[in-house]
Amino acid sequence: MKYYFNEIEAKWQKYWSENQTFKAENKSEKDKFYVLDMFPYPSGAGLHVGHPLGYIASDIYARYKRHKGFNVLHPQGFDSFGLPAEQYAIQTGQHPAKTTQENIKTYRRQLDQMGFSFDWSREVRTSDPSYYKWTQWIFIQLFNAYYCLDADKAKDISALTAIFEKHGNEKVNAVCDENTALFSAEEWNSFGPDQKELVLSQYRLTYLSETEVNWCPDLGTVLANDEIVNGVSERGGFPVVRKKMKQWSMRITAYAQRLLDGLNRIDWPQPLKDAQTNWIGRSEGAMVSFEIEGYAASIEVFTTRPDTIFGVSFMTLAPEHELVAKITTKEQKSDVDSYILSTSRRSERDRMADVKTISGVFTGAYAVHPFSGEKIPVWIGDYVLASYGTGAVMAVPCGDQRDFEFAKHFDLEIPNIFEGQDISEGACEDKGAVIANSDFINGLKVKDAIKKVIEALEKRGIGEGRINYRLRDAVFSRQRYWGEPFPVYYVNGLPKMIDKDYLPVTLPDVEKYLPTEDGKPPLGNATIWAWDTQTNKIVSNDLIDEQTVFPLELNTMPGWAGSSWYFNRYMDADNDNEFCGKEALDYWQDVDLYIGGSEHTTGHLLYSRFWQKFLFDRGHVPVDEYAKKLINQGMILGTSAFVYRKKGENTFISHGLIKDKDVQPIHVDVSLVNASNELDLEGFKDHALNKDFKDAAFVLEDRKYIVGREVEKMSKSKYNVVNPDDICRDYGADTLRMYEMFLGPLEQAKPWNTAGITGVHGFLKRLWKLFHNSGEFSVSEDAPGPEELKILHKTIKKVDEDIANFSFNTSVSSFMIAVNELTSLSCSKRGILEPLVVLISPYAPYIAEELWSKLGHKGSVSTVDYPVFEAKYVIESTKTYPISFNGKMRFTKELSLDLDKEAIEKAVMEDERTQQQMGGRSPKKVIVVPGKIVNIVG
């Protein structure tokens, strides 16, 4: 009887769906285990074979844990707000909700086909009003909170106003804007409501501010730093410019230190932790204030090397620094203005690419050295970034290579403040140096000098020790249509939150999805988009009267809003009264295993940790790190195929004949190429992308056209996409699952190669054949013998260990060995098949279910708690090495069920003595048990 995988798979999909086999309960006697995937954005192209890799791994783990007796939560959903649906809407006028709905349908079909054990009753979609209701709610919670540094946690904003009323803000130790002014209790109490609101916004964890943002004119929107790659937009590759706009921001910087500290408590990959650590970019140093000669202003700088303060010979401001206009002298004005103009014209990308060119200009102004009182010229230069620190540096050419080069270029002084260091060729950045020519810190080492300078600065009130972070507050506004609307309306230009009871504020319909002609975001096109504070309803814009009806926010939230808390929603996805019920949260707590791509390291994975910590502070969730363990699955790459067109001719040359001919490589669809790299010429002509190709000439080798190959990212534009639908049709989902695992280590990037799939498919066929010998299912009730049990338990032990270590590739090999060995014994015994089916079911659930039911079991193997994952026989691996006299070893491997324990114990006791003996003459025989080398005498 043939292995009819298509029928089997359809049958069990139906069964699982009808019986809700994978529905998880929020109450159980069993221990909980939460396995999470990064939910997909449902794109129009559907899934390719690369997408499900992580889902297969997590599904294997989830099914394995169910067998081990855990109550497993394994949900799935869709990150369904996003730019592609919106751009499609701009082109076609089709509502993004409709496109999204259709795409989700395709995704769902593809996911079901692959046999994932998701609990779809908990599905979430970020674009669903019943979901984004709670995204809006969390936004309001952030608005109504500030970060108290004394308690080191977020608190309700009312606690802050209470302090202001009694003591003003002088003694408040909270995270706030740099330029927050001081006020007394009397002053606060005299402020009007609008002024109070402006002050509070300097403390709120989400706030409106005029910020310099990354504006992408082609996309008509603002981008976050992690959405920009090499100075152009990640999506589309359009140029990005700096622009000032009024935007919502998230005060993630308040959590910088806790985001660092939390990394020590979670089992995430080290490279990912390193990347987040670098992104947060903590550096210790000092703030120093330099007075400007002749002005009432001073320049604040941040430095990590306050010990080098006596080596300062000039200062450099970023061209965008606010003091530049104020302090530039008349004589220098035209130079400075033209320099600022030329740097602002250069895109960020040019500035980054061109690190070598040194440019700058003198402002004409002088600062005063805080200790020596000397005059220090103030320059501007584009090597100083406005967005880091204070946008100004104290330049120490002898201690910083960039300052050194700047000084050399403009012929500025380079005083040496290091004992016995030669600085004629470059700056001395060695932190073991000893300071000289530096007044009260002469003879001190760097570390001690830093301490002493900070003390002196603080004593004189002109500076202080400071920890600075590279991390910036996150801009939270997007000028897009297809995102969460803000639950915000404006009175006198000040934001007001809509009460929880009236959420969600649902996205309005618009005629056009582009920004309005006067430059407002797409929601500016909506005609029914105003808030009536009397009825608490969305009403027509015509009714705005500035008394009771007010304009609503026109921006929407960024893509990361919905994904920053979805893992909590799965625990209680249908709750209409809370974002997630307390009971569910207390039961499920956090994610035990999270699998997803490393591209989200400094985006989603940082923002979601931030929101979780906030929700924890406010008592809404029980833990402040939401994922105990995380694994980054490696990308599956495509193997692109190329044809080579002779330049200027319609002739294609086979890969082997190119040599030094002038040819242009052109991508060709991989489905037109067979396993030996031979191109289907008729197919190529029929599916030609370019009309000319229809009558192209070919230069062949061995009567074949051989294509060139290259490994690239799998993408539609590279014609190297392999569709899982095709693989499932030809080989079945079980084969696809096992093969993707077999391809190589989970965390490693690896190219897809359909040719190798026959090996795994052949294995499943052999397994099937083993128990369908005479054409129908046949299983023997005889008890298995030691040989057969040995095969089974060896496999159990190996597979169990491999799953625990996430080495799914080697466990597939173990299955193959087992089936090969059983085949050679012609073993078809129930006592072997039954546990083997359970063992194999996480990898190949469909064939396992089918065999399980043929064994006469009711219900699904997927939900069976079965002790099969504990090997009944303890198998010790022993090796015997007879040693010849020249010291070379040979040995025979022995795997035994009936080990002579006494002999081993005795040998272990002699271990020490043996080692001594081995230093001298070689023993005749050595037994190795794991971890020990022992000698057997005789």
Q: Which of residues 194-233 bind RNA (CB under 7 A)?
A: 225-226, 229
Q: Could you say which residues in the range 308-327 bind RNA, by CB under 7 A?
A: 318
Distance, in Å, from the CA atom of 764 to the CA atom of 94, rounded to the nearest integer, reads 45
Residue 674 touching RNA (CB under 7 A) = no
The residue (of 632 and 860) whose beta carbon lies closer to RNA is 632
Residue 824 touching RNA (CB under 7 A) = yes
From edge to edge, which strands make up the β-sheet containing 932-935?
892-896, 876-882, 925-929, 932-935
Residue 676 touching RNA (CB under 7 A) = yes
The residue (of 341 and 494) whose beta carbon lies closer to RNA is 341
Binding letters toward RNA, positions 464-503, x by CB under 7 A? ----x-x---------------------------------
User: For residues 871 and 797, is the Cβ–Cβ distance under 8 A?
Assistant: yes
Residue 921 touching RNA (CB under 7 A) = no
Choosing from 19, 158, 180, 278, the residue that interacts with RNA (CB under 7 A) is: 278
Q: Could you say which residues in the range 595-654 bind RNA, by CB under 7 A?
A: 598, 601-602
Match 């996409």 to its residue by tokens: 721
Residue 763 touching RNA (CB under 7 A) = yes
Count of alpha carbons within 13 Å of 310, Cβ hemisphere only? 18
Provide the minimum distance between the beta carbon of 354 and RNA in the complex, in angstroms, as a whole number. Answer: 6
Provide the minimum distance between the beta carbon of 698 and RNA in the complex, in angstroms, as a whole number. Answer: 23
Residue 745 touching RNA (CB under 7 A) = yes
724-731 helix and 733-742 helix, angle to the nearest 10 degrees? 110
Residue 462 touching RNA (CB under 7 A) = no
User: For residues 9 and 733, is the Cβ–Cβ distance under 8 A?
Assistant: yes
How many chain residues are in contact with RNA, going by CB under 7 A?
Answer: 79
How far is residue 668 from each of residues 651, 680, 684, 727, 797, measured CA to CA in Å? 15, 11, 8, 20, 46
Residue 3 touching RNA (CB under 7 A) = no
Q: How many CB atoms lie within 10 A of CB 459?
A: 9
The residue (of 158 and 820) whose beta carbon lies closer to RNA is 820
Residue 807 touching RNA (CB under 7 A) = yes
Provide the minimum distance between the beta carbon of 126 and RNA in the complex, in angstroms, as a whole number. Answer: 23
Choosing from 91, 179, 264, 270, the residue that interacts with RNA (CB under 7 A) is: 270
Strands 71-73 and 32-37: parallel
Q: How many CB atoms lie within 10 A of CB 473?
A: 18
The residues, any chain, with a CB within 8 Å of residue 375's CB and separated by 6 or more, are: 293, 366, 367, 368, 369
Match 């591209």 to its residue by tokens: 599
The residue (of 155 and 472) whose beta carbon lies closer to RNA is 472
Choosing from 237, 756, 785, 786, the residue that interacts with RNA (CB under 7 A) is: 756
Select from 504, 503, 549 the least CA-distant residue to 529. Answer: 549
Stretch that binds RNA, among 260-268, 298-306, 414-422, 723-731 (CB under 7 A): 298-306
Choosing from 817, 825, 864, 936, the residue that interacts with RNA (CB under 7 A) is: 817
Stretch that binds RNA, among 15-23, 276-284, 409-417, 610-618 (CB under 7 A): 276-284
Provide the minimum distance between the beta carbon of 60 and RNA in the complex, in angstroms, as a whole number. Answer: 16
Stretch that binds RNA, among 49-57, 118-126, 500-508, 925-933 (CB under 7 A): 925-933
716 is in an annotated binding site: yes
Provide the minimum distance between the beta carbon of 886 and RNA in the complex, in angstroms, as a whole number. Answer: 8
Distance, in Å, from the CA atom of 719 to the CA atom of 673, rounded to the nearest integer, reads 11
Select from 177, 179, 168 the least CA-distant residue to 202. Answer: 177
Distance, in Å, from the CA atom of 891 to the CA atom of 911, rounded to the nearest integer, reads 19
Binding letters toward RNA, positions 554-593, x by CB under 7 A? ----------------------------------------
Residue 889 touching RNA (CB under 7 A) = yes
The residue (of 229 and 689) whose beta carbon lies closer to RNA is 229
Residue 810 touching RNA (CB under 7 A) = yes
User: For residues 642 and 608, is the Cβ–Cβ distance under 8 A?
Assistant: no
Q: How many CB atoms lie within 10 A of CB 503?
A: 18
Q: Could you say which residues in the range 177-196 bind RNA, by CB under 7 A?
A: none
Distance, in Å, from the CA atom of 389 to the CA atom of 284, rounded to the nearest integer, reads 12
808-825 helix and 733-742 helix, angle to the nearest 10 degrees? 120
Residue 708 touching RNA (CB under 7 A) = no
Distance between alpha carbon 905 and the CA centroid of its chain, in Å? 50
What SS3 state is found at 701?
Answer: strand
Fill in the DSSP letter of residue 473: P
Q: Could you say which residues in the range 828-857 bind RNA, by CB under 7 A?
A: none
Q: Could you say which residues in the range 353-392 bind RNA, by CB under 7 A?
A: 354-355, 382-385, 387-389, 391
Residue 675 touching RNA (CB under 7 A) = yes
Distance, in Å, from the CA atom of 742 to the CA atom of 748, rounded to the nearest integer, reads 12
- Residue 176's Cβ-count burial label (10 Å; 0-12, 13-18, 19+) is buried
Residues in binding site: 716
